[in-house]
């Protein structure tokens, strides 16, 4: 199972939010590139980087993009990037600066024609972010509800050609309350032929064990993003990687 340490960028700093709330911000490092190197040194093979400012404003922000470029140049790990990626032009821009995989969410939820075109053009280089609150997809940096059920959404996106999903239970994100295995299983079984990456809630090594166990019935759960648990120290990346 692939492990993605999370680096959330806000104002050029490495932060974590609670349940996606911008008024619940904890700063963990003012040097995100150094943090990226720390995760590489601990054995990470991927990084999951989010431009929180971009997610809220609607396009990636220069200060945070400069940091992403530095990570690519100085750390060298493949980066899965999201936050304000809402057009084919921005996907292209991110791939051109060296991002390995771009994540679209709001654009996919609001414009099926745009999503289908992006899937056709970029294939495996794009993942769809499925950010759900109470089972309903949230958009615009998690600030608004789309009104669409998450299971229905992933089935619709798979029908348009989506190659990968990242499922986040917003209520669990940054709260250290465990993974919502039921919701994750519903998403994974709804699109059995499409890889799904879990996000939100990893707190202990028991959560990693539970995800590995879930793969027995939902083998398309291919990875997990780990954020707050690493920064709060409830798990170490070395121990998580040893499980997988």
DSSP secondary structure letters along 39-91: HHHTT-S-EEEEEHHHHHHSS--HHHHHHHHHIIIII---EEEESS--SHHHH
SS3 state of residue 4: strand
Active-site residue identified among 8, 51, 53, 173: 8
Phi-psi region of 146 (alpha: psi -120 to 50; beta: other; left: phi over 0): alpha
Rounded CA gap, 131 and 13, in Å? 23
Residues, the chain, total? 244
Buried b (16+ CB within 10 A) or exposed e, 143-159: eeebeeebbebbebbbe
Strands, DSSP E only, in the chain? Answer: 2-10, 13-18, 21-29, 47-51, 79-82, 101-104, 126-133, 136-139, 144-149, 165-169, 196-199, 221-226
Residue 191 CA to its chain's centroid (Å): 18
Per the annotation, the verdict on 66 as an active-site residue is: no
Per the annotation, the verdict on 169 as an active-site residue is: no
SS3 state of residue 135: coil
Active-site residue identified among 51, 53, 131, 169: 131
Contact 60, 97 (CB under 8 A): no
Catalytic positions, please?
8, 131
């Amino acid at each position: 199972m692939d492990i993605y340490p999370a680096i959330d960028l806000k104002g050029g700093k490495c932060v974590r939010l609670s349940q996606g709330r911008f008024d619940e911000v904890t700063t963990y490092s003012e040097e995100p590139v150094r943090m990226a190197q720390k995760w590489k040194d601990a054995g990470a093979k991927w990084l999951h980087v989010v431009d929180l400012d971009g997610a809220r404003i609607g396009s990636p922000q220069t200060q945070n993009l400069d940091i992403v470029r530095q990570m690519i140049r100085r750390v060298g790990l493949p980066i899965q990037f999201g936050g304000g990626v809402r057009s084919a032009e921005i996907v292209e821009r991110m791939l051109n600066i060296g991002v390995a995989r771009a994540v679209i969410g709001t654009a996919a939820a609001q414009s099926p024609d745009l999503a289908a075109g992006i899937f056709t053009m970029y294939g495996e280089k794009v993942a769809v972010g499925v950010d759900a609150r109470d089972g309903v997809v949230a958009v615009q940096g998690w600030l608004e509800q789309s009104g669409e059920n998450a299971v229905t959404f992933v089935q619709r996106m798979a029908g348009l050609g989506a190659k990968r999903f990242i499922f986040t239970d917003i209520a669990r994100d940054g709260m250290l309350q465990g993974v919502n295995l039921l919701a994750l299983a519903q998403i994974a079984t709804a699109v059995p032929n499409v890889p799904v990456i879990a996000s939100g809630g990893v707190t202990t090594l028991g959560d990693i064990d539970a995800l590995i166990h879930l793969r027995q019935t939902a083998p398309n759960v291919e990875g997990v993003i780990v954020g707050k648990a690493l920064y709060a120290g409830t798990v170490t990346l070395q121990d998580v990687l040893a499980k997988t």
